[in-house]
Amino acid sequence: MAAKVDLTTSTDWKEAKSFLKGLNNKKRREHYFTRDFIKLKQIPTWKEMAKSARIKQPEETVFPKDNHLNDKISLFRGDITKVEVDAVVNAANSSLLGGGGVDGCIHRAAGPLLKEECRALNGCETGKAKISCGYRLPAKFVIHTVGPIAQGEPSAAQEAELSNCYKNSLKLAAENKLRTVAFPCISTGVFGYPNDAAAELVLNTLHTWLEENKDKVDRLIICVFLEKDDEIYKEKLPRFFPVDACGGALPSRL
């Protein structure tokens, strides 16, 4: 294991990354930027949430009921920088050097070493994803992805780019054997992607990916900050992840 490193003063991201890699979960917690981090067991699965909240199940659904998948997905309203998971996804800009919204929050919480490592990643194209250490975050890694800028009705190309943000982030997670991943609402802030349309696409993308890769992850968390997004996902989740018996999947896919 590398020599003890103070993450608040270190300027060598490679040394800090090596140091953190050698720590167990208990030791890593000593270096979190926050003490009130959120453990995975504190976040209910969609199956648990739907049952406790008595979520109304619509008659028509996009996919058939699958309790196993309902245990793999969560909706959480809160601060993504405090969630203790294998990886949080950052809604980054193409420079990967920090910005506003969730991007700025993740960079501030992780500390300046995150930007130093990101300099070495040489940016990122829209729809693609790159991975870095999480440094002072409770998340071990940050997966950076760049969403499309869509002011108004998104085009087919922008829909594909947003879907690819999630697919490529999950591909990186699987390649690095990361089993718990938290996603923010990518592109719906200053990038202008309509919240409602984004939620439909995200849920379709996550369900389709889980159908083929459910054994590769333990939990995918949709982490929302705004009440509006919380309400949108609670309304749409029963259509994509049904919790009661339903009449099977509709033929249409987004």
Instruction: Give yes or no for residue 248 having a pLDDT over 60.
Output: no
C-alpha Rg value of the chain to the nearest Å: 18
Mean pLDDT of the chain: 93
Closest CA relative to residue 71, chosen from 87, 47, 50, 92: 47
> How is residue 77 written in tokens?
């309203």
* Average pLDDT of the residues in 77-82: 98
How confident is residue 4, by pLDDT bands cut at 50, 70 and 90?
A: confident
Instruction: Give yes or no for residue 55 having a pLDDT over 90.
Output: no
d(CA 148, CA 140): 26
The rounded percent of the chain whose pLDDT value lies above 90 is 85
* Average pLDDT of the residues in 161-183: 98
Give the number of other CB atoms < 10 A from CB of residue 218: 15
pLDDT tens for residues 213-236?
A: 999 999 999 999 999 999 999 999
DSSP state of 120: T
* Average pLDDT of the residues in 85-97: 97
How far, CA to CA in Å, does 106 sit from each of 82, 83, 122, 173, 200?
Answer: 10, 11, 18, 18, 25
d(CA 102, CA 80): 8
**pTM, rounded to two decimals:** 0.93
Find all residues with CB under 8 Å of 120, minimum gap 6, and list them. Answer: 13
CATH superfamily of 13-56+68-240: Leucine Aminopeptidase, subunit E, domain 1 (3.40.220.10)
* Average pLDDT of the residues in 115-128: 97
d(CA 166, CA 171): 9
> Which sequence spans correspond to the domains of the chain?
13-56+68-240
Among 1-5, 15-19, 86-90, 175-179, the minimum mean pLDDT is found in 1-5
